[in-house]
Amino acid sequence: MKNMITTRAFVLVFLLALLACKKDETNVPIMDVLSVKLTQNVDLPYIVTSKDQIVFDVTISSNSDHIIKDATLSLDGRELHTASASATNEIVLKYSYKVTGNDVGKSLIFRLTVTDEGDKTVDKDFTVYVESAPAEIDVVFPSDAPSEIRDDESVDFNIAIVSENDLKYIKTFLGLDELTALTKETFEDPKEAVYNFNYQPTIADADKTLVFTIEIMDVMGNIVKHDYSLDIRRSQEVDFDFYADVNLGAQRSTAGPFFNANTGEVYVRSGAAAKSAGIDMVNYWSGSGSFYNIVSPTYADVATHIYTVAADGDDAIVNWATRNETFFKKISMTRNEFDLLASGTEIEGLYTGSSVAESLATGGLANNNVVVFRITSGKYGVMYIKSRSTSNNTGYLTIDIKVQK
């Protein structure tokens, strides 16, 4: 079975920052955004042979107020196919590319370009590698390869590899990064290898699931990839709680929009009034500004315009017995710096040491933004915005959060 780039009906979101600026409810300048949702109706392989066809079958729709015009699929700057939008502001693009012998050994980079009526464009690349024939490479992991270790432990085991053709290399990737110390390019037996995999976690790996990819290529250009997942547990007790991959929804999302910073729980709209004493943050999608905004329950506009009596009845924010007050500051911080935060004191220092004016709202949130906050109880926390599912009020943010105990 061929390896696939995506699973069926996988949804991708593209964001194109345009020039026009607007103001949101917090008076923070933001960019007008063209948001496009692409659904792959047919799985796209990332490895094919010269006998295969690469089939594109995608549906493209607009997630914003912009009207899309057409979508063009190209290869190396050469246009292959263009599909136009329907009256419902949707594009269905279908195209089959016949792989040739000249493509063997190459990575074909297909580019999909979506254009709106204002001739603004956004691109998405798809990479497919062409091998000479299906790879006959057997890979056997040891049965006792660990699935979980502490951050002060290491993993070390051998992988048995047998290839029909001579081996060219064996590499290990963590995400997109090659772990060059593990690269093997010379072999005593050209068709068999005992490959040593080893890894020593860092403190930044704590509380994460690491996914390694073992990539094997033979001299004919055939490639086989195997993933290995490893959970890293924190070895030292810390004075903060870590909540990973919190999905915090907008007002029409199936994910709840209300967050309890003391427990890490997310609450849906129904029944929220009864849980108001535990709600520290409220998320919503700003239609006027086209962005997500996390705010304090005491932020007036969210009660007046979003979670209202008309929309939520008894669970409307104005009916909550308790409205906790949370203050936010958006700061500059890398993902690695976030991961290396090792104490509640450090987290508190990020807030108290920042010259950014505190606010009842984060303002527009983008991927990789970092926000520090202070909740009613006096505890401090920090959140890292990992991704946004879509750019409208049915989507959600995925966030990693650290909060003082």
d(CA 398, CA 386): 6
- Do residue 190 and residue 122 come from a single domain? no
Picking from 268, 266, 232, the residue whose alpha carbon sits closest to that of residue 246 is 266
For residue 76, being part of any structural domain is answered with yes
Residue 75 C-alpha from the chain's centroid = 26
- Do residue 250 and residue 307 come from a single domain? yes
Per the structure, the count of domains in the chain is: 3
d(CA 58, CA 38): 7
- Do residue 193 and residue 267 come from a single domain? no
The DSSP letter of residue 342 is -
- Do residue 199 and residue 316 come from a single domain? no
Q: What is the pLDDT of residue 12?
A: 43
Please tell me the least confidently modeled range out of 114-123, 147-156, 319-328, 380-389: 114-123
- Do residue 197 and residue 174 come from a single domain? yes
3-state secondary structure of 146: coil
For residue 5, being part of any structural domain is answered with no
- Do residue 370 and residue 244 come from a single domain? yes
d(CA 64, CA 37): 10
Type of residue numbered 155: V
Q: Give backbone dihedrals phi and psi of 131, rounded to 5 degrees, phi first.
A: -110, 165
Which value, to the nearest 10 degrees, does the dihedral of the CA atoms of residues 253, 259, 263, 265 take?
Answer: -10
Of 83, 113, 131, the domain-final residue: 131
d(CA 304, CA 308): 6
Q: State the pLDDT confidence band at 34, using cuts at 50, 70 and 90.
A: low
| Cα angle, residue 359 at apex, residues 310 and 25 outer, rounded to 5° | 45
User: In sequence order, which residues have a C-beta less than 8 Å from that of residue 405 and are 6 or more positions away?
Assistant: 239, 240, 241, 344, 379
d(CA 292, CA 396): 8
In tens, the pLDDT along 52-101 reads: 899 999 999 887 677 899 999 999 989 999 999 998 888 999 999 999 88
| Tally of CB atoms within 10 A around 106 | 14
Average of per-residue pLDDT across 101-124: 90
In tens, the pLDDT along 317-356 reads: 999 999 999 999 999 999 999 999 989 999 999 999 999 9
Whole-prediction pTM value? 0.62
3-state secondary structure of 350: helix
Helix, strand, coil shares, percent, the chain, to 5: 10, 50, 40
For residue 3, being part of any structural domain is answered with no
Question: Strand 121-131 relative to strand 47-49: parallel, antiparallel, unpaired?
Answer: parallel
Question: Strand 223-233 relative to strand 148-150: parallel, antiparallel, unpaired?
Answer: parallel
- Do residue 82 and residue 174 come from a single domain? no
The two tokens of residue 389 are 């599912």
| pLDDT surpasses 50 at 15 | no
- Do residue 271 and residue 381 come from a single domain? yes
**Cβ pair 224, 170 in contact under 8 A:** no
For residue 1, being part of any structural domain is answered with no
**Cβ pair 279, 261 in contact under 8 A:** no
Please tell me the least confidently modeled range out of 46-50, 173-177, 297-301, 303-307: 46-50
Of 204, 233, 262, the domain-final residue: 233
By residue range, what is the domain housing residue 189? 137-233
Q: What is the DSSP string of 64-95?
A: SSPPEEEEEEEETTEEEEEEE--TTSEEEEEE
The CATH number of whichever domain residue 185 belongs to comes to: 2.60.40.10
Picking from 301, 263, 261, 170, the residue whose alpha carbon sits closest to that of residue 223 is 170
The two tokens of residue 363 are 């303002």
Q: What is the pLDDT of residue 13?
A: 44
| pLDDT surpasses 90 at 169 | yes
- Do residue 266 and residue 395 come from a single domain? yes
d(CA 25, CA 288): 8
Residue ranges of alpha helices (H) inside 293-401 are 300-301, 309-312, 335-339, 344-352
- Do residue 95 and residue 52 come from a single domain? yes
d(CA 225, CA 205): 23
- Do residue 270 and residue 200 come from a single domain? no
- Do residue 109 and residue 40 come from a single domain? yes
Average of per-residue pLDDT across 142-153: 96
For residue 4, being part of any structural domain is answered with no
d(CA 344, CA 403): 7
For residue 35, being part of any structural domain is answered with yes
